[in-house]
Chains A and B, each alone.
Chain A
């Protein structure tokens, strides 16, 4: 069965964490949440592959974890509240993680936020991004 088109598919730069993504990312997210407890963090520190193997993730998902490919993790069903625990494991604060996902330096991202954030103008539809 192919994935049904969704009315939010045309929002650019966004992975809406819906039931399909939740199903796809279940073990990935459960892996990430294990890192919110010291026990899980210690296990991942001691032997990353062995700790990952406890969760039924796909090879693609494991590779995205190894690569710390933050947007790919979301594409493969990760949810930001979960993947941010992997960020925290690496000592990355939320705002810097946001900067990385949007392809900006931490200084540029921080400045954008202090100046009022990313404008909705030109950021509502994928078609607006394609023109850029």
Chain B
């Protein structure tokens, strides 16, 4: 049986990818960001996933303003890193476990989550940066070392799906994985955040106290975390902090009790607070 053995939360700040691509991760600005990923890469080697179910958001790359799906599941054979205006990141093409993705798509819809199915999709930094964080430096000729099923969540046009809905979707993903009859190790990623505002006069807002509390309740009191309102995200964590609803999808797919084996928090990476968690699941 397929098993979700871990959940990983991770910011997907584009500048983290740029720092890796330009090999400047040991500069004083970046060193404290990447220091916190060293443990993660070692842990990842020891707990190597067969499939990563990766919850992220597209930043007007695959979807412009003409189509805005709330939840879009990647069912294509592979996904090409997109050109976001500066040329594509020099990282491997992302390969799917297509049969498993199709099964999850069916299971979710029958479970009453009416997702959009993507049979063609380029992926942006929202997806490739967390993979780079966990799998380290890779060139386009390499293999990521895992198959990936992407789930793109709309967090660009308000309202994003609620924290509660995201959590419930995570629970449905868990049911879909549990009903897949293949002995594979699955990790689920919730990406984006933490506090940041990229726009207008309040740009640069960071709320470290709130971020740390959010990590605490996400890990230990998920029933509380799923009740956080959109307005609280906007006011307390900045207009782009609402990306953190995607962490709830990850959390919903895990057991009620999990073990936090790693936490990393650093301000800033560019305009954003970097947050990262590794949660082991025991079922």
Contact = CB atoms under 8 A, between A and B. Distances in A.
B236 A79 contact: no
Contacts of B204: 98, 102, 109, 112-113, 117-118
A74 B199 contact: yes
Interface string B47-89: 0000000000001110011101000000000000001111000
B96 interface: no
Contact of B200 (A15, A26, A29): A15
A3 to B, nearest CB: 14
A16 B239 contact: yes
A14 B206 contact: no
A26 to B, nearest CB: 6
B204 to A, nearest CB: 4
Given A29-B64, A30-B64, A85-B85, A94 B202 contact: no
Contacts of B14: 94
A117 B267 contact: yes
Interface centre among A74, A98, A124 (most CB of B within 10 A): A98
Contacts, number: 141
Contacts of A99: 203
Contacts of B157: 17-19, 22, 79
B235 A11 contact: yes
A104 to B, nearest CB: 8
Interface residues of A, number: 48
B201 A13 contact: yes
Contacts of A81: 59-60, 156
B85 to A, nearest CB: 4
A7 B268 contact: no
Given A16-B239, A113-B271, A117-B271, 5 more contacts: A22-B68, A71-B200, A101-B203, A112-B204, A117-B208
Interface of B: 14-15, 29, 59-61, 64-66, 68, 83-86, 156-159, 195, 197-208, 210, 230-231, 234-236, 239-240, 267-268, 270-271, 273
Which 3 A/B pairs are nearest by Cβ-Cβ distance? A117-B206, A13-B201, A13-B202
